[in-house]
Amino acid sequence: MEYKDNLLGVVETIFKWKKIIVLTCLATGIGAIITVLVLPVYYESTTVFYAASPDLATPESIFGGSSIAPDYYGTGNDTERLITIAESGELVTHMVEKFNLYERYDIDPDEPLGAYNVRLKFNTHYDVIKTKYDAVELSMEDEEKEIAAEMANAARDYIANSSVQLVKNSQKKLLTIFQQNLKSKQSQLDSLNKQLLNVRKKFGVYNTDAQSESLSELLAKAESRLYNSQAKLESLRNTGGRRDTINLLVANIKGYENEIEKLGERIEVFNNGMAKVEMLQNIQEETSKILAEDREHFKQIQAAYQTDFPSIMLVEAAPIPIVKSRPKRTLIVVASVMLAFIFSVIGILIIDTYKDVDWKKITQLDKW
């Protein structure tokens, strides 16, 4: 009875070739055991951290100038920025130099592909991901457990410092812009002060309120003396007063008239200059106010630039691992034996199914 077209035929074939299958699985298992025993053992250390908010670097947050409470944890964009730094070539270069990875990975730095190979080797032991809770998880493998933890923490510190440096560079550029702006406004203010000084000298305007009041008072007194002297002169002429007294009053009246004329000219010049002085004073005061505000803002940014601030919120530092991360020896051996069994069965079934086929005859037919 033929069972080749059903499950019993398959079982029968497997049973018939059982020794070959067992020997194949046994040989594969022994080979896998020998292989995993010579494989290097790696330890993995992991550090977890969150992105800190860049708002912590602003003057408002540092000096409390804002009524809105700052966010301490960064957004998704801040997390992506940290991951971008973590995956950058600069980090790999830093780690290669800090831990002498050419020697550690037994790679010749003078080879044409030396730099490429050391980066490739590093990336096989290095991993950084964003967790479902929006934290950054950085892992590092090495054959020495202490080195694995040290490298993971060093990579995290580099990411934190680089993130801070990005903000510092932005602040430095802003400080440069503010310095240029302050110089420009200071030059503008100096020019205004010079113009104001020249206008004051030209028109004699130094204190508009006090001088205006004083000139008006002097004019009023001069006019009062003039009117009084004119009244006395008219009275003396009508009553036949002494000649020398009349002549004195005439001289006084002439003096008062000259005084009033000069005061009128002075007031006219003063009024012409007062408008210009007030305009320049207003511009000067506004420019001085803006300049003072900009200087204060500059000082705050400068203080923020010189102040340390966190770029990450550390959840867990990379500990020294206790158990190895790979190789999983038992899993490798079991998987190898199972694959050997599966491929052995498939091969045997194929051989047994087509063993009666005359391949020579089929080959000859193909030639025709």
Range scoring the smallest mean pLDDT among 73-87, 181-195, 206-220: 206-220
CA distance 274 to 225: 28
Residue 113 CA, chain-centre distance (Å), reads 34
Q: What pTM does this model have? A: 0.62
So what's the pLDDT on residue 128?
A: 92
Q: What does DSSP assign to residue 251? A: H
* 148, 323 contact by CB (below 8 A): no
pLDDT surpasses 70 at 164: yes
Question: Edge to edge, what strands does the sheet with 126-130 contain?
Answer: 126-130, 136-142, 43-51, 312-316
pLDDT surpasses 90 at 344: no
Query: Which residues touch 21 (CB under 8 Å, ≥6 apart)?
Result: 14, 341, 344, 345, 348
208-219 pLDDT tens trace: 555 566 656 666
Query: Which residues touch 340 (CB under 8 Å, ≥6 apart)?
Result: 24, 25, 27, 28, 29
CA distance 343 to 24: 10
Strongest mean pLDDT among 63-67, 80-84, 191-195, 198-202: 80-84
Q: pLDDT: is 138 or 182 the higher one?
A: 138
CA distance 67 to 62: 12
Mean pLDDT of the chain: 76
* 54, 335 contact by CB (below 8 A): no
Range scoring the smallest mean pLDDT among 30-39, 44-53, 162-171: 30-39
User: How far is residue 200 from each of residues 117, 207, 240, 265, measured CA to CA in Å?
Assistant: 77, 9, 51, 16
User: What SS3 class is residue 137?
Assistant: strand
The H-assigned helical ranges of the chain are 7-16, 18-38, 59-63, 76-86, 89-98, 101-104, 114-125, 145-203, 208-239, 243-305, 329-353, 359-367
308-319 pLDDT tens trace: 777 888 888 889
* 145, 41 contact by CB (below 8 A): no
Range scoring the smallest mean pLDDT among 108-112, 322-326, 361-365: 361-365
Q: Six-digit token pair at 134?
A: 């929006």
